Amino acid sequence: MLPVKPRVGRRWCGPLRQPSRPLAPSARYLADLEGERFIANPSSYDLRRRTEEWCATAGFEPSIAIEVTEFGTARDFVSRDLGVALLPLPARRFPGVVDVPLRGDGYARTVALATTMPSLSPIARRFRDFVVERGISGLSVE
């Protein structure tokens, strides 16, 4: 077994919507999304399971209109007014999309950066150092 040095953090998730949609930026409760069309990951993805769990806790079942595997594609579909999506809050704005942080506890995913020591390639080492030193917006390191 290789020794692994993990770094764990949490990435907060929130809904994305098209700016012209009636959901106001101040509407930050998940229950406010009941009745919206959702753009979500396939059912085998952790974030999809969490989305369904979070919506059930808020008292509704999300209406999944579109399944996508990439967050960038989901953001593009939101910008085209095809639905809303629960995604990790991005480090930078995406044109045509408004990010709305959710109020309440538990709307976060654990993310980890695990490396084997000491056999990192120079590129992998630079990436690790970048993430550790600068962090990622919305990522809190534990």
pLDDT mean over 81-88: 86
Q: Is the pLDDT of residue 67 over 90?
A: yes
Alpha helices, DSSP H only, in 1-121? 46-57, 71-79
**DSSP letter string over 101-117?**
PPPSS--EEEEEEEEES
Predicted pLDDT at 57: 92
The β-bridge partners of 108 are 12
pLDDT in tens, 88-135: 877 677 777 877 777 777 777 776 677 666 678 888 888 877 777 766
Range of the domain at 51: 4-141
How many domains does the chain fold into?
A: 1
**Biggest alpha carbon–alpha carbon distance for the chain:** 53
CATH assignment of the domain containing 10: 3.40.190.290
Residue 136 pLDDT level (bands cut at 50, 70, 90)? low
